[in-house]
């Protein structure tokens, strides 16, 4: 179990917006000036703040971690942030878009979240779950190469895309479909790995972690290490 209250400071230092995820969210016709948009598990608020500032949507964020929310509130006064869990959403026909990034694997009950999200959306409202598919987990660069133990840990932790699709269909979502986005970067320092910004690094043994860091350090001396950051965007519509 990751304690986001504990890691909020390091998290906000290293967590950047994935431009392709933002682009994907904004490309939805459900986001425009004046639409109501909710980010579930908003953490330090980077995505919902960007959406608010880029599109002018009426923007809301919920997260159960007070420390993450403190960082989010310090970022902007334009978004309304509330301490709440995804499974306890309590709105009726309110939002045009509800989305989450890297959150679904933290939920006790994704199906309860989908049920609540369905109730909270307007007719024709959309939900987008930004997550990692099994393929993405197995092919992460450089995480899976230097810390291969993270593959098993995350395959166990992340709900499978087909399971999510089934849960969504069961609560009534239609037009369920997904696409993958990716961005390549060059890593020139190990700070984010040393500070275990990737939550799965908290889930492997100290030995496995140290071994991976040592190998990364050695390779980094030869030049930058390629990082490919991929996400699966899973969409559904309330008809
Ligand atoms: C990996 S972080 C992602 C934060 C943000 N979405 C981002 O992409 O920067 C996961 C977030 O999920 C939140 N979280 C954990 N359990 C949750 C729950 N039951 N409902 C909503 N959010 C939850 C954590 O507090 C944390 O802020």
* CATH number (domain holding residue 89): 3.40.50.150
Distance of CA 30 to the CA centre of its chain: 19
Q: What is the pLDDT of residue 4?
A: 86
Q: What is the DSSP string of 126-189?
A: EEEEEE--HHHHHT-BTHHHH-THHHHHHHHHSPPHHHHHHHHHHHT-EEEEEEEEEEEEEE--
Helix axes 66-75, 46-55, angle to 10 degrees: 30
Q: What is the pLDDT of residue 44?
A: 95
Domain count, the chain: 1
Q: What is the pLDDT of residue 216?
A: 97
CA of 218 to the centre of ligand 1 (A): 33
Q: What is the pLDDT of residue 37?
A: 97
CA of 63 to the centre of ligand 1 (A): 6
Query: CB neighbours (10 Å) of residue 138?
Result: 14
Q: Domain span at residue 165?
A: 4-237
Instruction: Measure the CA–CA gap between 157 and 160, rounded to whole angstroms.
Output: 9
Q: What is the pLDDT of residue 13?
A: 76
Q: pLDDT digits over 194-227, tens only? A: 988 888 999 999 999 999 999 999 999 999 999 9
Low-confidence ranges of the chain (pLDDT < 70): 1
- Which residues does a 6 A CB cutoff place in the pocket of ligand 1? 4, 15, 40-43, 46-47, 63-65, 68, 85-87, 101-103, 106-107, 199
Q: DSSP assignment, residue 104?
A: G
Instruction: Measure the CA–CA gap between 196 and 116, rounded to whole angstroms.
Output: 32
């Amino acid at each position: 179990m990751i304690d986001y209250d504990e890691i909020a400071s390091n998290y906000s230092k290293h967590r950047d917006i994935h431009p392709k995820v933002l682009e994907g969210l904004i490309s939805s016709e459900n986001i425009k000036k004046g639409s109501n948009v909710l980010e579930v598990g908003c953490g330090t608020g980077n995505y919902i703040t960007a959406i608010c500032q880029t599109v002018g949507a009426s923007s809301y964020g919920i997260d159960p971690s007070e420390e993450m929310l403190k960082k989010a509130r310090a970022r902007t006064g334009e978004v309304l942030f509330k301490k709440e869990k995804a499974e306890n959403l309590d709105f009726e026909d309110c939002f045009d878009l509800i989305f989450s990034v890297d959150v679904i694997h933290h939920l006790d009950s994704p199906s309860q979240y989908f049920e609540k999200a369905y109730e909270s959306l307007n007719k024709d409202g959309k939900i987008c779950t930004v997550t990692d598919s099994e393929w993405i987990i197995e092919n992460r660069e450089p995480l899976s190469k230097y810390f291969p133990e993270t593959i098993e840990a995350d395959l166990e932790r992340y709900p499978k895309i087909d399971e999510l699709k089934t849960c969504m269909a069961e609560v009534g979502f239609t037009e369920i479909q997904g696409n993958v986005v990716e961005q390549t970067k060059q890593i020139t320092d190990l700070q984010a790995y040393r500070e275990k910004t990737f939550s799965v690094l908290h889930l492997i043994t100290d030995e496995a972690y140290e071994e991976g860091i040592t190998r990364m350090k050695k390779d980094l001396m030869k030049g930058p290490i390629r990082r490919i950051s991929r996400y699966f965007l899973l969409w559904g519509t309330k008809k």
